[in-house]
Structure 1
Amino acid sequence: MSDTSHSLVPLAETPPRFASWRNPWLWVVLAVLSLAVWQGLETRSRLGHTQQELARRLAENDKVVNENRALVSKVMEQAAELQRKYGALEGRLAEIQGQADALRAWYQEAAVSRDDVLLAEVEQAVNNAVQQLQLSGNVQGAILALESADARLARLNHPQFLVLRRTLARDLERLRATPFVDVPGMNLRLENVILSVDKLPLAMDLTVRPKAVAREAADTPGASWWSILLQEGWNELKALVRIQRFDRQEAVLLSPDQQLMLRENIKLRLLNARLALLSREQWVFKNELKAAHAWLERYFQLEEKSVQAAMAALKQLAATEIIVEAPSLNDSLAALRSIKASREKR
């Protein structure tokens, strides 16, 4: 029985220390441990890399934060600067607004005062026209004064002055329809007659002329005795025949002083007529011209063309009416007073 039991024992047995390596679970555990170690190392490596990336990103974030902080600080400084400038602009705007209000008030006051000055100028022009008509009857002067007043009103073109302008236009139409007296032309004709008075021949020159001619012929150097005798005989023959006008007095012989006085008196009469013409004094104008005409007719040679022209001019001037019925300007004055009264009520 012992031999049978010994025959059942294996011939070669594995040592106990190597028997455990043959266990498959050992290899499984080793594989799991190796995987776990490798996984731990990989995780640690990844964690380290992640930490580095996180540290880099944190550093970048810190840089960005610092930059943003600097930018915010700069923006805040700019905002403060803008706020300061805005406050200065508000102050400047308030100052400009105050100046604009003051300028607007000044402009309104200036506009009112300018209108007042304009109305004063228009009133002066209308009063000047009234004086031209009342004192001297100068229609043309009155027309010029009213046209000047209307031109001043036209420059402003304010609706409040339309009524006044219509009234001035009506008065201007009435003045233009008034008969025209050519005072400058009449004055010029009088001046020409005054200048010609010293050259007009006197009637007495016809009486003394034959003797003077005979004396001139006798005093002529180189004249023959027979020509002098013939001239004297002819003069004596003409003296036998005398033609005398009975529609006028005999020519008055005047001394040189009297001749000078006569001519000066005629010029004085014509100067008085000239002043009467300018002042529209019809009666004085006609009387002075008639007196000067009568003296020309009495003392001067009526056959001479210069005397005839002077007398014709005086006669025509004396027949001219220098006073015309001019229309009044009461409507324009009333319109002016109405505008001034309405402005004073304001």
Structure 2
Amino acid sequence: MTETNTSSQESATVNALASAAKARRRPTGPSWMATIAIVLLLLVILLATGAWHLQKRYDNVGREVATQIQLFNNQVSEARAQARQAITLADAHAVRIALLESSLRETQNQYSLLEQAWESFNKGMEDSMLASDLERLLSLASQQLRLSGSVNNAIMALEAALSTLVRADRPKFSAVQRAISTDLDRLRAAPVIDVAAISARLDSLNSLITRAPLLVPDLKANSVQDLNAVARNATANEQAASSGTQTAPVIQSAGANDQSLSWWESAWIRSSDWVLQSSKKLMTSLGRELSGVISIQRVNDASALLMSPEQGAQMRANLRSRVLTAQMALLMHQPAIWRSELAAIESSLNTRFDPKAVDTIAALGVVRELAAASISVAVPDIVDSIAALEAVRVSEVGSKSGN
């Protein structure tokens, strides 16, 4: 019992001490429940404030979204209206394009018809123009052959016609092309007269006639003789000077070799040499002058010695005119006139001019050479080409009249 009481007392003592300790640890401020309540109240206030702000912001965003949706709806309405207008315009354009396509097809059909008509018309016009050009070239070639006998010019005209036909490439003119080719071959094979060379020989003959001296002195011959005399005197002076310069060393050498002779013997030798050289010069000059004054020659026509200087000049002019006539006969291919003019020139050279003069001999040689040349050559014609072109023209006229 005692132990039980003791333990009860001890328990009571412990409980009293525990209660005292709890009493000592109890705080003096508000309790923890109040603190939690305050914290919860603050949280509620914060949450309410945040919710209000969120609601306000949500309302603003909703209003903005509604405004944008309204704008979008307005734009969609405008776009629909524009789309309807575009569809209307597209339909109108499609109708217009269809009309334009139909008019384009009609225009193309009309253009093709006009092109066909123009091709047929142009083909006829080209054939007519080609025939006219060929006729002009063939007429030119025929004129060159008949009037002047110029084979080269006729060949050039036919070559131009042939090149025109080759470029045109018309089957209708094939016969004309073959005829022109045949005529070209015949013309190229024909002999050709060298007119340029013969004309040059005629010019040289004219110059020789101008320089050749007559049997009697005339105006031209006097001037030529004066020039020849001046030339001869100049040549004689040069020869004399050269002979003097050549004899002086001889005399000096002779004096040098004869130093053993006396002075009067040396002077005599020099004097005799000088007299000998002077006499030779004097005789040479006298012979030259006398040969120019006196001449002996045989004359077949005595009237040639009675010509005056004016008549001699007139005769030279007549001979030059005959040379010009012979040149015209060469160009015109007239052999009769050619031979008669050259014969007259040769007769005048034989009877009126000095036969010993170099120019007269050269002029006679040129005249005989020209007289031996033939200026009459058988020139072929181009009748086949002209006939072929005429046949094409006749066929074209017949086809037009038949249509």
Same fold, judged at TM 0.5 (above): yes
Determine if the alignment matches structure 1 residue 186 to structure 2 residue 239. Answer: no
- Structure 1 position 230, deviation (Å): 5.2
Give the AA of the match of 1:309: A
What is the aligned partner in structure 1 of residue 126 from structure 2? Answer: 114
**TM-score normalised to structure 2 length:** 0.57
Q: Separation in 2 of the partners of 1:235 and 1:71? A: 130
Alpha-carbon distance change, 234 to 330 in structure 1, aligned in 2, over 3 angstroms: closer
Q: How does 1:68-87 map to 2 (within 5 A)?
A: 74-75=86-87, 77-87=89-99
What is the aligned partner in structure 2 of residue 19 from structure 1? Answer: none
Q: Separation in 2 of the partners of 1:235 and 1:70? A: 129
Q: Separation in 1 of the partners of 2:112 and 2:362? A: 75
Determine if the alignment matches structure 1 residue 157 to structure 2 residue 164. Answer: no
Q: How does 1:298-317 map to 2 (within 5 A)?
A: 298-317=351-370
Is the 1:269–1:292 Cα contact (8 Å) retained in structure 2? yes
Q: Separation in 1 of the partners of 2:310 and 2:131? A: 60
1:252 counterpart SS class: helix
Give the AA of the match of 1:307: T
From 320, 335, 346, the counterpart of 2:373: 320
Is the 1:273–1:288 Cα contact (8 Å) retained in structure 2? yes
- Structure 1 position 196, deviation (Å): 4.1
What is the aligned partner in structure 1 of residue 322 from structure 2? Answer: 269
From 335, 339, 343, the counterpart of 2:392: 339
- Structure 1 position 240, deviation (Å): 12
1:324 counterpart SS class: coil
Alpha-carbon distance change, 232 to 83 in structure 1, aligned in 2, over 3 angstroms: closer
Cα deviation, 1:250-285, whole Å, max 9, x if unaligned, reads: 662532201111101101111111121121111011
Identity among equivalent pairs (%): 29
Q: Separation in 2 of the partners of 1:190 and 1:145? A: 29
1:269 counterpart SS class: helix
- Structure 1 position 340, deviation (Å): 1.0
Is the 1:137–1:323 Cα contact (8 Å) retained in structure 2? no
- Structure 1 position 312, deviation (Å): 2.1
Alpha-carbon distance change, 186 to 232 in structure 1, aligned in 2, over 3 angstroms: closer
Further displaced range: 156-165 or 188-197: 188-197
Alpha-carbon distance change, 278 to 240 in structure 1, aligned in 2, over 3 angstroms: closer
Is the 1:296–1:311 Cα contact (8 Å) retained in structure 2? yes
What is the aligned partner in structure 2 of residue 201 from structure 1? Answer: 213
What is the aligned partner in structure 2 of residue 177 from structure 1? Answer: 189
Alpha-carbon distance change, 205 to 322 in structure 1, aligned in 2, over 3 angstroms: same
Q: Separation in 2 of the partners of 1:189 and 1:238? A: 34
Q: Separation in 2 of the partners of 1:120 and 1:293? A: 50
Further displaced range: 137-146 or 300-309: 300-309
Q: Separation in 2 of the partners of 1:123 and 1:297? A: 52
What is the aligned partner in structure 2 of residue 130 from structure 1? Answer: 142
What is the aligned partner in structure 1 of residue 287 from structure 2? Answer: 234
Alpha-carbon distance change, 341 to 292 in structure 1, aligned in 2, over 3 angstroms: same
- Structure 1 position 197, deviation (Å): 2.7
Give the AA of the match of 1:288: E
Determine if the alignment matches structure 1 residue 98 to structure 2 residue 151. Answer: no
Q: Separation in 2 of the partners of 1:118 and 1:257? A: 61
Further displaced range: 266-275 or 300-309: 300-309
Further displaced range: 198-207 or 320-329: 198-207
Ranges in structure 1 where 5+ consecutive residues have no aligned partner: 1-63, 218-225
- With a CA cutoff of 8 Å and minimum separation of 6, indicate the structure with the bigger relative contact order: 2
* More helix, by proportion: 2
Alpha-carbon distance change, 154 to 237 in structure 1, aligned in 2, over 3 angstroms: closer
Cα deviation, 1:24-66, whole Å, max 9, x if unaligned, reads: xxxxxxxxxxxxxxxxxxxxxxxxxxxxxxxxxxxxxxxx9x9
Give the AA of the match of 2:312: Q
Is the 1:289–1:314 Cα contact (8 Å) retained in structure 2? yes
What is the aligned partner in structure 2 of residue 37 from structure 1? Answer: none
Q: Separation in 2 of the partners of 1:331 and 1:238? A: 70
Cα deviation, 1:223-262, whole Å, max 9, x if unaligned, reads: xxx999757853697599965357x556625322011111
Q: Separation in 1 of the partners of 2:289 and 2:204? A: 40
Q: Separation in 1 of the partners of 2:87 and 2:294? A: 135
Is the 2:208–2:362 Cα contact (8 Å) retained in structure 1? no
- Structure 1 position 181, deviation (Å): 0.9
Q: Separation in 2 of the partners of 1:310 and 1:238? A: 25
How many residues in Structure 1 have an aligned counterpart in Structure 2? Answer: 273
Q: Separation in 2 of the partners of 1:92 and 1:301? A: 97
Alpha-carbon distance change, 240 to 130 in structure 1, aligned in 2, over 3 angstroms: closer
Is the 1:200–1:307 Cα contact (8 Å) retained in structure 2? yes
Q: Separation in 2 of the partners of 1:236 and 1:142? A: 61
